[in-house]
Amino acid sequence: MTISDIRSFLAGRKTYAVAAAALITLGIAWSDSKITTESAIEKAVAIILASTMRAGIQKAQDSAAESANILKNATKCCGDE
């Protein structure tokens, strides 16, 4: 297995892996009574929202890049260079 194989496997999964690790750590801290239930819930919601926001940002970037390529190709097609 090469570095390229690892990178391609992790593509799109890193954010969720970090979020899962954070939730596991949060669960351990809560079960050891290091944090209160209310604090654990707040932090869990923040972790989930952050990972969701990161996925939304990536989709917006991909969409913008695709739109830019479409416009670039449209101007080439029509001779407006």
Count the domains in the chain.
Answer: 1
**Predicted local distance difference test score (pLDDT) of residue 36:** 96
Q: Is the pLDDT of residue 51 over 70?
A: yes
**Domain that residue 30 falls in:** 3-78
Q: Is the pLDDT of residue 30 over 70?
A: yes
Closest alpha carbon to 61 in 72, 69, 73: 69
The two tokens of residue 36 are 């209160």
Task: Say how many residues make up the chain.
Answer: 81
Average pLDDT over residues 61-75: 77
CB atoms within 10 A of CB 26: 19
* CA-CA-CA-CA dihedral for 9, 14, 15, 18, to nearest 10: 140
Of 40 and 81, the structure prediction assigns the larger pLDDT to 40
Lowest mean pLDDT across 6-20, 43-57, 58-72: 58-72
**Predicted local distance difference test score (pLDDT) of residue 78:** 61
